[in-house]
Structure 1
Amino acid sequence: MPNDKLTDDQYAQLPVGELTKDLNSSAQTGLTATAAQQELATVGKNVIQKGKQENELLNFLKNFVSLMACLLWVSGIIAFFAGTPELGIAIWAVNIINGLFSYWEERAAKKATDALSKLLPSYVNVIRDGKQTQLVAEDIVPGDLVELQAGDAIPADARVLTSSSLQVDESALTGESVPVDKFVEYKHSDGQFAIQNIVFAGTVVTSGTATVMVIETGMNTEFGKIASLTQNQKKTDSPLTQELNHLTRQLSILSLSIGLAFFILAIFFVHYPVAKSFIFALGMIVAFIPEGLLPTVTLSLAHGTQVMAKRHALLKSLDSVETLGETNVICSDKTGTLTQNQMTVNHIWLPDQEFTVTGTGYYNNGKIQFQNQDVDLKNYPDLNLLLDIALLNNDTKIQEPKNAGDAPKILGTPTEAGLNILTAKAGLNLADRLQDSPRLKELPFDSTRRMMTTIQKNQDGKTYVYTKGALSNLITVCDTILIDGKVEPLTPEYKSQIDQANRDYAAQGLRSLAFAYTTTDATNFDNATPANTEQHLTFVGLAAMQDPPREEIYEAVRKCHTAGIRIIMVTGDSTLTAKSIAVKIGIVSDAARVITGEEMKQLSDDQLREAVKGEVIFARVAPEDKYRIVSMCQANGDVVASTGDGVNDAPALKKANIGIAMGVTGTDVAKDAADMILTDDNFASIVNAIEEGRTVYSNIQKFLLYIFTSNVPEAFPSILFLLSGGAIPLPLTVMQILTVDLGTDMLPALGLGAEQSEPGIMERPPRKETDHLLTKTIIWKSFGYYGLIATVISTFAYFFVNWQYGWPHVALAASGNTYMVATTMTLAAIVFCQVANVLNIRTQRNSLFKVGIFSNHRILWGIAFEICLLAFLVYVPFVHGLFGTANLSLHDWLFLICIPIPLILIDELRKWIVRKTMKGTNQ
């Protein structure tokens, strides 16, 4: 078969006889079943491949080999050398559990996105052996004869053989929402997909019928070629992965430096043998490595994905959660994302009066009003006539959804759907009117004359010609005008008045549709043509319509501006409409620059980079232009989220730091290329996801703060021991230190990973690329504030116990029951300080009482666990020897229980001072 040697344009120009011969088919009977089977074996299934699939084993193993995971594997080995094999096993177990959890979460996300994605139509009507049959779309092959009708998704690239008023929505390929006319005759306009007699896979029939012959399937279609290009792009590591790698290097240097310092001090101050000093130093290295970091990160990300899923944002990768929090530019489509994707008539203009139409959307029953009063159509015959034309001169049907809450399905054009809603608001019923006024003839819309005409036999016995279309075209075939029920000559003054009204609507971002009529005495309309029918019309009026902004978009845009996030609208719509919507919803001001696709081609990369730094709107651009816009933003150092639904959006989605596909209107290629899928196609869901991403990053920082806070009181006893030359016995043993790190601290720390968004988190600017997880603020708070207080309290507890047993008159015990009680009290004091710290760290500036002490159940369960674990270590005899613990008395517990209360109150005072003195700052 030579079909892969011809281009679409060459196929489009072949005579039908040569086309069918080349494809071994017939224009009447299609392929034979035998030929179809042979062709299927040759070209394969009509499917869009998902790109090179990762080896599942490698996908599984990658969860265990990150830089932080490798650090934990090494830590386990060090623990074995340090003579604590149980510790090494525990560290490895943490690593294994975290890897399994991470793999499970990403698998669940992948299954959810796979379930959401639906590629080509399940079944198509095909003619084989001269008989019509239904086939699964993936089984069609080049040469198949396919019948199409309104609402059908086109399963493959095909040549149009017969056509009746065929219009196709090619927005998945071109981004242009206006349906395209398709004809049998060949014509090639400007643009890659502008072949008049070729329909493309992934597009949708909006009106009319056709018989087409398949010329390309699967990855050979234009749809498939773009998918293939997209799949070859490689994603770089997410900002979180890069940051965790940076943090791992920081922690490795910190831990090794501390270990080296303790090794030297043990030799020169305590005079330990080198081997014993080395074991001691290894224990301190392990103590300073946050074993719970990876599980906390994974839990935070997993919790974030679950929250986002409930808020209509489906993440395919856990790392993508945090990347959203770093986003500072959103390149957004207009139609369906910022707007409702529901063309709605706002105004009806007649030469002598104007009416407003209230209510938006298919389920919002608005009204037609005049001077804020409901309209009785009986009193407005001219309005009644315009509505009659809108109702009868209309081929679009609105199909009610199967499930409550789903959007209705439009079988036709959005513009005509808007007229249907308008007439429904007026209480008109199409079925009733067609009985009274049946259609005798239709002259379908085409892109040349930009009008549509129907001929209706009315119940008054007259035959009416109803025409609607673009004002600039329709006004040329009108020579009279209807004013207050009277037909008058269409004078230049009237034309000027109509033109001014049209321009006023355009300035508001509204699209005008003009209506006209005439009556005829003819009875036979077989030979009716636009030339002999659309003439000497009477102008009736205009309907001004708009795809209204989503109700929640205003607050979402406000949040973005407050959060330091810029929004760049990228649309195929006109400059007037794009700017009107962008200004109306607050994305930009009136001073914003509008750049068209043609103007963009004239800009160098440097000029475009400069343009995207300011207030800018891109209008009349193709989806492939979005790739360049995203690239230039990234070249400026921006972290970019980009939305898209079409096939040609896929490269930009892949290029963006966060690609966001539409779940309702998006093509499968777009969904495959994206990192996130919006199940409601709503811009506000992106803003919600960004808020959650910021929360995840904040929670990871809270974990670091919490973990490092306990490291200070853990390390200080060893410093006392070393600097005193061993005169002060170790107030805390290595096993007790590790009990805090891997035992009591673990669950409360994980609870911080599920902390809710802190009030005001969207009032801060996005974090910069140069900002790191481990900040100076975290180091100061952990070592100089929380950690210092815990150090003072735990050290006091150690000496308090020894004081009870006779110190300083008696030397500090280095062994025996007194020593074990003292070290146990030190351990317990650290644990109770951490109880207060985990509650304090939940908020940076806001009061703990405002967010609610009991609002995070995971932390409460974690606190309960650590106290129970401490009690286990204190009162179960067989663990005393392993952990160096002993029983505590009642008054010891009374001292411990009192620790958290003043610590919480002190921190509440600090936060109050911060709120008063640092209002509006980040930390």
Structure 2
Amino acid sequence: MKQNKSTLIDDDAKADPTDLMNQFQTSNGGLSQAEAEKRLEKYGPNTIRQGKRKSEVLIFLENFTSLMAILLWVSGVIAMFAGMLELGIAIWAVNVINGCFSYWQQHAAQKATDSLKKMLPSYVKVRRDGKSQQIKVEQLVPGDIFDIQAGDSIPADARVFNAANLQVDESSLTGESVPVEKHDAYQHGDGEFAQQNIVFAGTICTSGTATALCLATGMDTEFGRIATLTESQKKTVYPLERELNHLTRQLTIIAIMIGVAFFLLAIFFVKYPVTKSFIFALGMIVAFIPEGLLPTVTLSLAQGTQRMAKKHALLKNLSSVETLGQTTVICSDKTGTLTQNQMTINHLWLPSQEYDVTGTGYVTNGQIQLNGHQVDLAGQPDLEKLLINATINNDTEVTEGKAGEKSKILGTPTEAGLVILSRKAEIDAAAERQKFPRLKELPFDSGRKLMSVITKNADGKLVINTKGALGSELNVCDRILDNGHIRPLTADDQAKIMQVNENYAKQGLRTLAFSYRVVDENDPLSQQSLESCTIESAEKQMVFIGLAMMSDPPRPEIFDAVRNCRRANIRIIMVTGDSPTTAKSIATKIGITSDKVRVISGSELDKMSDAELQEAVKGEVIFARVAPEHKFRIVSMCQKNGDVVASTGDGVNDAPALKRADIGIAMGVTGTDVAKDAADMILTDDNFASIVSAIEEGRTVYSNLQKFLLYILTSNVPEAAPSVIFLLTRGLVPLPLTVMQILTVDLGTDLLPALGLGTEKAEPGIMDQPPRPLNSHLLNRSIIWKAFGWYGLIASAISTFAYFFVNHVNGWPQVPLAGSGLVYAEATTITLAAIVFSQIAAAMNCRTQISSVFSIGLFSNHRILLGIVVEVVLVALLMYVPFLQGVFNTGPLNVTEWGFLFCIPVPIFLIEELRKYVVRQIKKRRAKTSV
């Protein structure tokens, strides 16, 4: 027996049915049970194997092995080796808490489930030993004969036999919103998966029945091939992760260089003992390594994910929050993402009148006449005839969904659109079907492209109602209904109708034509039995009624979303399995592209080199009729151009691109589980506009991380300044700050205000800026200047003054500076407290980059206010709790010293407000000059 590979699907489709049965050693009666069991053993169960996943232990340990985490582990070991057990334990505790929190967030957001299995049906009806029986879908094997009917999910790739009005929704594979007709004869349409006598696993039968020969199961199906393709794509490292690693290396190099320099200076310049010099140098390294960076970044990102969840965007990885803010290109699927994935009738054309049914009225002579959805059919016989035709010549049912759920369609989206149209016109479908009982149906087929039903009217006469492609309808019509009167269909009438059809086609609308005829008593059809009625005898001498124009409409919110993307300098590239005409129409309608856009089909894409494609994606372009391999190739070429790519989608075919992209965005409502598993973000409302909100949140998160970084680095300078004084004075000035006190600032007092900065709202105009360049860094020149050359110097001057102030009150310079005892403890305590109170001002100043803090509300960020209260309380505890006094070498301060501390924040805050005001004025003058 031959191997069932995707490359052989077309051969199976072309093969003679008898030969194909022989090749698979089966018959119309199906396999024997014994043979089926042998094949199950050979081919394995009909399931999609999930790729190898890391064990939970490895996933857990990965949260403790980042560059910053390793640095903290080493720092803890060094501290313990130097005899500072409390310091080492504290540093390790930070690592453990952060790692556990990261793992908890990751585990809660991403479920490691076998989602592909969920898309397959639980049972399938097969023929075994000549009898029909129901088996579990996992037991289906190549060579099995199984039945298909409306509503069934297709369990495997299969060759169709005995198809009757069979239509299959392949949108999960192709992105095409309209079901495709399947029948016995081989015919290959446009694009992939287009063999019309082959059905594919993971698709859904929307109407009709068929018998099918199973060709491939499990991973040998096209469904399985895409799953393998998706699994083979390695997820790229998030930009934020790369940036944090870069930042860690920067800070590590700075800290180690400073530590080594201070170690050597302490030995050779101050003549300090080696052990004390090592501890001193370690204190400098601790001062410049922001131990609170990792937990604060993790918590800030977690807060960002929570805010985005409220905006219907669920993120599975914390680092992907910021990636959104850096996005420059969104590769978006069309069906179900930009559009509603439901066919909607929006125009009706009759020879006597044109109706606009997109909203609340219809059009006559170019003027909109409001009439609500309750179309009054009295005096409008042409419209009534078309609506009744659409109602009774229809096999689809639309059931209302529960609260919050979409309506369910059993049938085709096209006929569902007609059902909704009838409901808008308040047509009672049940009453009309009783009034015109159906006697026979002539099913749609792709050859004649028509569907007809034969009914009986109140006079007992046969009535034939037909709908289908315009060209086919005109071929069977010789009369036309014009304002209630039937007259001959002239050449001018046909030319006019074709012109109307062409005009609507340019708008990307699909056309459905309607006709009817009442069978005269003299017609042979009325004299013969309906069993002997043929298509040729029924579909002739028809009366043309009119046209219904339909489309898969854009989502209502998409227009604003596209405008916002343009404002934010983010390009949208449509990548769809739909036709080029429809894709271009939708793209231009919603504003993604202009009429001059280049449309590249999948077949054209196959012929393009990577260099040609890389150049094409730089411009205004749409991709249509694409296959899964094409999608992630497009994403890859965008990435080669230096773009940060977000790829959206909901189908199986989108999964490889979702995984390949910098950030994959899946639809939560209509999206397949495959897409959700491959994605980084899931939209719970399937709203494209939520992506724009998420991008704004991502940019805000990055901006807040820079604010946070500025804040924590600001304290590094006053933490290091006492050690510089110690060195410059060759040890005459005792260390004004101990290592444990430095750690108190980094891991204690700074933490809550830093988290508060992570919750700041977006500054005005953040979406009017282009995405930040890939080569930009969190630690830029502006932050370095502010942290070390502005905020840091001010805080250093104040804290140093506080140290000498306490010593002066206690007799210095008449007596030597205290190196131990109560005076030394008091001096180091006020130095620590002065740094903390300087950081209170820094927390407020860092809330904005240029705007005045008063413009966003001085007290609007309650988390920062809470953090300020907590750090003041923490400092007080260090001063007055005996146990903490011993650990941190602190002592109590008097009322005067407390008064000095409370006077620190206000002038620092006002000085910075003055600087921001000057910067704003300079920018305004430059803007006026440039204009």
Once residues 828 and 748 of structure 1 are traced to their aligned partners in structure 2, the CA distance between those partners, rounded to angstroms, is 15
Greater Cα shift, 441-450 or 705-714:
441-450
1:808-861 CA-to-partner distances (Å, cap 9, x unmatched) read 454433333222222211111111221222233233234434544555454344
Q: Are residue 231 (structure 1) and residue 231 (structure 2) matched? A: yes
Paired residues of 2:363 and 2:369 also in contact (CA < 8 A): yes
Question: Structure 1 616/17 Cα, relative in aligned 2: closer, same or farther at 3 Å?
Answer: closer
Q: Secondary structure, in 3 states, of the residue corresponding to 1:53?
A: coil
- Aligned 1:730-879 pairs, distance under 5 A: 730-853=735-858, 855-879=860-884
Once residues 391 and 623 of structure 1 are traced to their aligned partners in structure 2, the CA distance between those partners, rounded to angstroms, is 38
- Aligned 1:660-679 pairs, distance under 5 A: 660-679=665-684
- Aligned 1:319-718 pairs, distance under 5 A: 319-359=319-359, 366=360, 371-374=368-371, 375-401=375-401, 403-521=402-520, 522-523=525-526, 524-718=529-723
Paired residues of 1:367 and 1:426 also in contact (CA < 8 A): no
Question: Structure 1 605/296 Cα, relative in aligned 2: closer, same or farther at 3 Å?
Answer: same
Question: Structure 1 408/128 Cα, relative in aligned 2: closer, same or farther at 3 Å?
Answer: farther
The alpha carbon displacement at 1:35 in A equals 4.8
The alpha carbon displacement at 1:176 in A equals 2.5
- The Cα RMSD (Å) is 2.7
Question: Structure 1 5/233 Cα, relative in aligned 2: closer, same or farther at 3 Å?
Answer: closer
4+ runs deviating over 6 angstroms: 112-117
Paired residues of 1:50 and 1:672 also in contact (CA < 8 A): no
Counterpart of 1:904? Answer: 909
Structure 2 gaps, min length 5: none
Greater Cα shift, 219-228 or 295-304:
295-304
Once residues 715 and 341 of structure 1 are traced to their aligned partners in structure 2, the CA distance between those partners, rounded to angstroms, is 61
The alpha carbon displacement at 1:589 in A equals 2.8
Greater Cα shift, 723-732 or 92-101:
723-732
How many pairs does the alignment contain?
913
Q: Secondary structure, in 3 states, of the residue corresponding to 1:509?
A: coil
Question: Structure 1 881/677 Cα, relative in aligned 2: closer, same or farther at 3 Å?
Answer: closer
1:724-760 CA-to-partner distances (Å, cap 9, x unmatched) read 2233332222221121112222233234344444443
Q: Secondary structure, in 3 states, of the residue corresponding to 2:383?
A: helix
1:488-527 CA-to-partner distances (Å, cap 9, x unmatched) read 2222322222222222222223222222222223233323
- Aligned 1:270-285 pairs, distance under 5 A: 270-285=270-285
1:592-648 CA-to-partner distances (Å, cap 9, x unmatched) read 333333443444433332222122222344443223322221121111111233333
The alpha carbon displacement at 1:444 in A equals 2.0
Once residues 213 and 307 of structure 2 are traced to their aligned partners in structure 1, the CA distance between those partners, rounded to angstroms, is 47
The alpha carbon displacement at 1:79 in A equals 1.4
Once residues 910 and 534 of structure 1 are traced to their aligned partners in structure 2, the CA distance between those partners, rounded to angstroms, is 84
Paired residues of 2:177 and 2:341 also in contact (CA < 8 A): no
Paired residues of 2:177 and 2:342 also in contact (CA < 8 A): no
Counterpart of 2:28? Answer: 27
TM-score by length of 2: 0.92
Q: Secondary structure, in 3 states, of the residue corresponding to 2:63?
A: helix
The alpha carbon displacement at 1:45 in A equals 2.5
- Aligned 1:56-455 pairs, distance under 5 A: 56-111=56-111, 118-128=118-128, 133-189=133-189, 191-359=191-359, 366=360, 371-374=368-371, 375-401=375-401, 403-455=402-454
Paired residues of 1:154 and 1:199 also in contact (CA < 8 A): yes
Percent identity, aligned pairs only, is 65
Paired residues of 1:265 and 1:723 also in contact (CA < 8 A): no
Letter in 1 for 2:794: I
Letter in 1 for 2:418: L
The alpha carbon displacement at 1:155 in A equals 1.4
Once residues 527 and 339 of structure 1 are traced to their aligned partners in structure 2, the CA distance between those partners, rounded to angstroms, is 44
Question: Structure 1 623/469 Cα, relative in aligned 2: closer, same or farther at 3 Å?
Answer: farther
Letter in 1 for 2:785: W
Q: Secondary structure, in 3 states, of the residue corresponding to 1:168?
A: strand
The alpha carbon displacement at 1:452 in A equals 1.8
Q: Secondary structure, in 3 states, of the residue corresponding to 1:88?
A: helix
The alpha carbon displacement at 1:487 in A equals 1.9
Q: Secondary structure, in 3 states, of the residue corresponding to 1:377?
A: coil
Once residues 821 and 512 of structure 1 are traced to their aligned partners in structure 2, the CA distance between those partners, rounded to angstroms, is 87
Q: Secondary structure, in 3 states, of the residue corresponding to 2:531?
A: coil
Once residues 482 and 825 of structure 1 are traced to their aligned partners in structure 2, the CA distance between those partners, rounded to angstroms, is 96
Once residues 559 and 795 of structure 2 are traced to their aligned partners in structure 1, the CA distance between those partners, rounded to angstroms, is 47
Question: Structure 1 118/686 Cα, relative in aligned 2: closer, same or farther at 3 Å?
Answer: farther
The alpha carbon displacement at 1:125 in A equals 3.8
Paired residues of 2:177 and 2:552 also in contact (CA < 8 A): no
Q: Are residue 8 (structure 1) and residue 13 (structure 2) matched? A: no
Question: Structure 1 160/638 Cα, relative in aligned 2: closer, same or farther at 3 Å?
Answer: same
Letter in 1 for 2:808: W
Question: Structure 1 847/133 Cα, relative in aligned 2: closer, same or farther at 3 Å?
Answer: farther
Question: Structure 1 503/14 Cα, relative in aligned 2: closer, same or farther at 3 Å?
Answer: closer
Once residues 846 and 831 of structure 1 are traced to their aligned partners in structure 2, the CA distance between those partners, rounded to angstroms, is 24
Once residues 136 and 869 of structure 2 are traced to their aligned partners in structure 1, the CA distance between those partners, rounded to angstroms, is 58
Q: Secondary structure, in 3 states, of the residue corresponding to 1:65?
A: coil
Question: Structure 1 760/483 Cα, relative in aligned 2: closer, same or farther at 3 Å?
Answer: same
Q: Secondary structure, in 3 states, of the residue corresponding to 2:233?
A: coil
Paired residues of 1:127 and 1:146 also in contact (CA < 8 A): yes
Question: Structure 1 142/916 Cα, relative in aligned 2: closer, same or farther at 3 Å?
Answer: farther
The alpha carbon displacement at 1:10 in A equals 4.8
Question: Structure 1 601/127 Cα, relative in aligned 2: closer, same or farther at 3 Å?
Answer: closer
Letter in 2 for 1:697: Y
Paired residues of 2:185 and 2:196 also in contact (CA < 8 A): yes
Counterpart of 1:363? Answer: none
Letter in 2 for 1:563: A
Q: Secondary structure, in 3 states, of the residue corresponding to 1:503?
A: helix
Q: Secondary structure, in 3 states, of the residue corresponding to 1:372?
A: strand
1:779-808 CA-to-partner distances (Å, cap 9, x unmatched) read 111112222222222222223323333444
Once residues 912 and 445 of structure 1 are traced to their aligned partners in structure 2, the CA distance between those partners, rounded to angstroms, is 73
Once residues 347 and 503 of structure 1 are traced to their aligned partners in structure 2, the CA distance between those partners, rounded to angstroms, is 14
Question: Structure 1 705/261 Cα, relative in aligned 2: closer, same or farther at 3 Å?
Answer: same
Once residues 602 and 397 of structure 1 are traced to their aligned partners in structure 2, the CA distance between those partners, rounded to angstroms, is 43
Paired residues of 2:116 and 2:673 also in contact (CA < 8 A): no
Greater Cα shift, 774-783 or 185-194:
185-194
The alpha carbon displacement at 1:385 in A equals 0.9
Paired residues of 1:624 and 1:649 also in contact (CA < 8 A): no
Greater Cα shift, 142-151 or 883-892:
142-151
Question: Structure 1 123/318 Cα, relative in aligned 2: closer, same or farther at 3 Å?
Answer: farther
Question: Structure 1 120/759 Cα, relative in aligned 2: closer, same or farther at 3 Å?
Answer: farther
The alpha carbon displacement at 1:3 in A equals 6.1
Choose the corresponding residue for 1:880, options 879, 882, 885: 885
Once residues 143 and 463 of structure 1 are traced to their aligned partners in structure 2, the CA distance between those partners, rounded to angstroms, is 45
TM-score by length of 1: 0.93
1:445-488 CA-to-partner distances (Å, cap 9, x unmatched) read 22333222222222243322222222233223222222111222
Once residues 160 and 919 of structure 2 are traced to their aligned partners in structure 1, the CA distance between those partners, rounded to angstroms, is 70
Structure 1 gaps, min length 5: 360-365
1:14-41 CA-to-partner distances (Å, cap 9, x unmatched) read 666665666565534x455555445434
